Chain A
Amino acid sequence: MEKIRFLRYNMGKTNMSLASQKSSTPFQILQRTSVPLVLFTLTLTCLLFLSQSVFLPALLMVDISGSKHNAHELKTYHEALLEQVKHKQEMRSNLVLSMQGTDYRKLSDWKQSHYPFQSLLSTVSQVSRSLHNKDGDQVVFIDNIKYFPVDGQLKLNGNVKNAGPRSMTILAQLVEELRSQPFVESLKSPSFSRIEDSVGGFITPFDIQISLK
């Protein structure tokens, strides 16, 4: 009997606690979870901190020529090496070619930096010869070429003839062809006009000014 009474008492207690659990407020839930939550997050943070400060650096270290470097050090070392190679290359170039830093070297390098007139001349002649009428005759005639290497200016003066009424179209083609050349920085378009010559043909004179790169 005693035993039965004890069991009933215990069952009653359990039912009471279940009943009280069922009626827990959100605050009571929060109250019960707060300490475990803090303990969990604290452990997690500590473990992550440990991995961040000890394990990860040890795992990500790279052995280069007997010394260990992390990613940041590798990047810095790489940049320093690149800088050193560049510096040494300059030193080597200065040694291989004497008189660096002198007026002579500055003038000779400056002289070398100008576009060779011969190659400009060849390109202009080639472009002007590439334009012709339907019979294959030359139509662009350049009378005067002025070159100012120091200012990087090229001036062409001439006319388009033997092209009939297409003379202005041919001039436009010439301008476009010249503009597409790699040495041209800018080209001042000529004025387009057509005049009749003594034998009834058409002539389009031009004056083209090119700024070189």
Chain B
Amino acid sequence: MKILSIINRPKVRVIGLHIIALTLLIISAQIMSKQVRAIANASQVSLPLVAELPVLERRLNTITQQIEMAELNSVLKIGSQKEQVDVLILPKEPDFDRLISIFDVLQEGLKSKNILKNASKIDIGDPIEDAYPIHFSFDVHEEGLRKFLSFTRIAGLLTVGDALSPEEREMLIHKTEEENPTGIIALEQFFSTDLLRYALDSRSHEEQLLRSFSSSDFVSLFRMTMQSSLLREVRILFEGDFGQLIDDHNLWPFPMLIMDSINLKKGGAPKWRNVSVQLFLYTAH
């Protein structure tokens, strides 16, 4: 009763009604600003998204199709590659005889071209966790040094795909998506090509892949990658007799060797260096 009598007072009623009106005005202003934001959002965010969404959907479809195709193809290749890795690249027990034979063939190849001399004996240390330190030194001409460094970079890699950096691989894969999505199978086959087989006949492997792509964009990107990547060093290292000798002596693939340190000193003649190197021969856990 007391409350009713207070409300019925004219002053209270007027103030109350104005407070209600003010509150409703504030709510209206908020709703209006929300609507303005929604309209602004629609023109700034939604419209660009609408243009982008169909492209993304198409891309997703293409990649899904490529995955289905790649899945079928990948089942066939994994087994043999895994076996080579387990037996020859990362064996449980290191095969030192095979390693020495590889160094012998490399050394003889460089010696026959008169770009290496005074090679020391190869010292193999006690293993540190799952890696054996290997130390040796030699005098080498600049050209021989280039070949030796290429050898250390390649040792332990098995396929063409392994010799490409993740960025280089992704660039080529992405290009197939734009140019010819079904070309992923040809690219997958190219990536899984044995590195030595590729080096011994690089042209035919490259042409086989390029048959799946007609656009000059892909061809130029591919040629550029072949020239700037480690594959160029692979081709140079295995050209001549070296690749054939390695193949004939069943010394491919090389075990996993990672350089720990290299020390270059001035050699006895111009362009000659005295090299002292320590590598790690890795084995499986």
Task: Please indicate the chain A residues that have their CB under 8 angstroms from the CB of B20 in the complex.
Answer: 38, 41
**Which parts of A88-105 form the interface with B (CB within 8 Å)?**
88-89, 91-93, 95-99, 102-104
What would 10 A/B residue contacts be, using CB atoms closer than 8 Å? A34-B14, A38-B20, A44-B24, A48-B28, A75-B45, A91-B67, A97-B161, A107-B258, A108-B162, A144-B264
Residues of B with C-beta under 8 A to A65: 57
Is there contact, CB below 8 Å, between B28 and A99? no
A188 contacts B by Cβ under 8 Å: no
With a cutoff of 8 Å between Cβ atoms, the chain A residues found around residue B100 in the complex are none
Which residues of B does A touch, CB under 8 Å?
10-11, 13-14, 17-18, 20-21, 24-25, 27-28, 31-32, 34-35, 38-39, 41-42, 45-46, 49-50, 52-54, 56-57, 59-60, 63-64, 66-67, 70-71, 74, 77-78, 81-82, 85, 89-90, 145-146, 149-150, 153, 156-157, 159, 161-162, 165-166, 169-170, 173, 184, 187-188, 191-192, 230, 256, 258-266, 282, 284-285
- Supposing A41-B21, A111-B156 touch, asked if A78 and B28 sit within 8 A by C-beta, the answer is no
A/B pair count, beta carbons within 8 Å: 193
Q: In the bound complex, what is the Cα–Cα distance between A118 and B145 (angstroms)? A: 9
A93 B56 Cβ-Cβ under 8 A: no
Known contacts: A75-B45, A150-B260. The answer to whether A92 contacts B156 by CB under 8 A is no
A71 vs B57: C-alpha distance when bound (angstroms):
18
Cα distance A92–B149 when bound, in Å? Answer: 32
Residues of A within 8 A of B (CB): 27, 30-31, 34-35, 37-38, 40-42, 44-45, 48-49, 51-52, 56, 60, 62, 64-65, 71, 74-75, 77-78, 81-82, 84-85, 88-89, 91-93, 95-99, 102-104, 107-112, 114, 116-118, 121, 143-150
Query: 9 closest Cβ contacts across the A-B interface?
Result: A41-B24, A34-B17, A95-B70, A48-B31, A88-B63, A145-B264, A37-B21, A81-B56, A97-B161
Supposing A49-B31, A71-B38 touch, asked if A98 and B78 sit within 8 A by C-beta, the answer is yes
Contact of B21 among A34, A109, A148 (CB under 8 A): A34
| Interface pair B56/A103, CB less than 8 Å apart | no
In the complex, the answer to whether B35 meets A98 with C-beta atoms within 8 Å is no
Whole-angstrom distance between the Cβ of B131 and the nearest chain A Cβ: 10
In the complex, chain A residues whose CB is within 8 Å of the CB of B60? 81, 84-85, 88
